Structure 1
Amino acid sequence: MIVGIGSDLCDIRRIEAVLERHGGRFMQRIFTPNEIKKAEGRYGQTRIGAYAKRWAAKEACAKALGTGFSDQVFYQDIEVVNLPSGQPSLKLTNGALQRLDELVQDGYTPNLLLTMTDEHPYAFAQVMIELLPNKE
């Protein structure tokens, strides 16, 4: 059963302007070290697009959690990771994980679904939180 859904559309040019203006300070506040490493391994618009997609994914996840960035849910608590297959996924910690735990009902396990894309000048992400029945 789906217990949360969120989406976000981000203007890549806005992220680019913030990165040019605030650079490392912005990156350290919003992105995890792994996300920064992943984005910095790319060049030009691909690099900026990587940051913009992750920004959109964090925003979409906060919406799916039903909190936005409040109730102890912070940007650093939501990390975009890749499964071994390359599929994007989310790793939640701290307040975001606590909020996810509040959504989970007995007998169910949460599954976070993430899709991201970018086409200059926009980046888009959608997150769905579903609960899967535990196998006996």
Structure 2
Amino acid sequence: MVYGIGTDICDVRRIRTSVERHGERFAEKVLSDAELAVYRRRGERWPDRGLRFLATRFSAKEAFSKAIGMGMRMPMTWRACEIANLASGQPVIVLHGELKAWFEAKGLRAHVTVTDETDYAASFVIVETLEPRSGS
């Protein structure tokens, strides 16, 4: 059963302005350690690709916070919600700490998709309740 749905669109130019104004502090506030490593690798070779990566992660975390219905308040934090990729490239949500414990206690599962173009990044998240398995 659907628990919540969230969507977000982010202007990459706004992210660029934040990075120019605040430097690495902005990325360090929003990204987990694993995401930060990817952001830096991508940004070293292609600065625009790094910014789009940061924008997609920002957007996905905003969409996730909307889907769980709490916005950016505890236990939801930027760094406790990580957007990773499977080997196939599929994005997945990996939770940490109190947010992970809260999410698992509620019996929830999340699905995420992200996309970006030159100036925009967008994300869509569906959170569902896990159905108890019936014995057959």
Query: Which interval holds the TM-score relative to the shorter structure?
Result: 0.7 to 0.9
1:74 corresponds, among 69, 74, 77, to 77
Q: Deviations over 1:79-120 (max 9, x none)?
A: 01112322100111234224423532xxxxx32111000112
Unmatched segments (≥5 aa) in structure 2: none
Cα offset, 1:66, TM superposition: 0.6
1:115 alignment counterpart: 113
- 23-32 vs 48-57, which moves further: 23-32
1:48 alignment counterpart: 51
Normalised by the length of structure 2, the TM-score is 0.87
Q: SS state of the match for residue 76, structure 1?
A: coil
- 94-103 vs 34-43, which moves further: 94-103
Q: Which amino acid aligns with 1:28?
A: E
Root mean square deviation of aligned Cα = 1.6
Unmatched segments (≥5 aa) in structure 1: 105-109
Cα offset, 1:40, TM superposition: 1.9
Q: SS state of the match for residue 36, structure 1?
A: helix
Q: Which amino acid aligns with 2:114?
A: M
Instruction: Count the aligned residue pairs.
Output: 131
1:85 alignment counterpart: 88
Q: Which amino acid aligns with 2:93?
A: L
The aligned runs of 1:1-136 (5 Å cut-off) are 1-42=1-42, 43-104=46-107, 110-135=108-133, 136=135
CA contact (8 A) 1:65 1:99 kept: no
Cα offset, 1:134, TM superposition: 4.2
- 9-18 vs 86-95, which moves further: 86-95
